[in-house]
Amino acid sequence: MCVVWRSPQPLWQALVDWAICPGQAMVKVQGVTETWEGNRATVLQRLLGTLDLTTIQAVGHRVVHGGDLYRESVVVTAAVREAIRSLIPLAPTHNPANLEGIELLGHLLPGVPQVAVFDTAFHSTLPAAAATYPIPYEFWEQGLRRYGFHGISHRYCQERAAEILDRRDLRVVTCHLGNGCSLAAAVGGVCQDTTMGLSPLEGLMMGTRSGSSIRG
């Protein structure tokens, strides 16, 4: 069986790459690439200036670490912002940038609902045997456990595979590969194990992270 599926084309899309040097970003907007000066806030504000902000009805944010607080996407409130801030020690590179985007959009689009979609949510179903490290249990009680990441990508791949094959009982291993990499195993769309753990550092070798050996 050959299934051809094409995703809907976005009306607008852009990419910001901060890998050049501090205070400078390579920005690609609607296929046109330029180098912009500034910090995250100024670049994002300029980027959004290429849009008609009055047409935006909602904003979605990928948030890397939701800890054990969030098992699904949530509408952003003051309490959610504080929770994301409290989890910065577990994802010090990602959560501050995620929070900065939420706060900036709240300023630029007052009254427009924002939704936080957590990378860790898909892995919240990990059984205790997969989520627990072989360390004293008191550390588990302090929140030191396997959380898993790239869950948004893994969930999408799991659901698309089930849709294409018209099966809901699949036993699937999905591979998220790029500068950040991870694997996840699921049964019937429910995550059972993943290569990343307490932070996004574990698992496969990555562009700027050494990873660790995959458990047998």
Residue 193 lies in a domain: yes
Inter-residue contact 180 to 129 (CB < 8 Å)? no
Evaluate if pTM is beyond 0.95: no
Beginning with the edge strand found earlier in the chain, give each strand of the sheet holding 32-37 in spatial order. Answer: 14-21, 24-29, 32-37
Mean predicted confidence (pLDDT) in 5-34: 86
Residue 134 lies in a domain: yes
**Alpha carbons within 13 A on the beta-carbon side of 98:** 28
Residue 106 lies in a domain: no
Residue 12 lies in a domain: no
Mean predicted confidence (pLDDT) in 153-160: 95
- Collapse the DSSP code of 55 into the 3-class scheme (helix H, G, I; strand E, B; otherwise coil) and give the result: helix
Domain region containing 169 = 128-204
- pLDDT (tens digit, 9 = 90+) per residue, 79-126? 999 999 999 998 898 999 999 999 999 998 999 999 999 999 999 999
Confidence of residue 209 (pLDDT cuts 50, 70, 90): confident
Confidence of residue 9 (pLDDT cuts 50, 70, 90): confident
Mean predicted confidence (pLDDT) in 51-77: 93
Does the pLDDT of residue 8 top 90, yes or no?
Answer: no
Overall number of domains in the chain: 1
Q: What is the mean pLDDT of the chain?
A: 90
Residue 165 lies in a domain: yes
pLDDT at 216: 44
Residue 173 lies in a domain: yes
Distances (CA, A) of 176 to 21, 41, 85, 139: 26, 28, 26, 29
pLDDT at 139: 93
Q: Which residues are catalytic?
A: 119
Please choose, from the candidates 161, 126, 165, the residue with its C-alpha nearest in 3D space to the C-alpha of residue 146.
Answer: 126
Q: Virtual CA dihedral for 50, 55, 58, 63, nearest 10 degrees?
A: -10
Residue 197 lies in a domain: yes
Confidence of residue 3 (pLDDT cuts 50, 70, 90): low
Residue 190 lies in a domain: yes
Confidence of residue 135 (pLDDT cuts 50, 70, 90): very high
Does the pLDDT of residue 39 top 50, yes or no?
Answer: yes
pLDDT at 18: 83
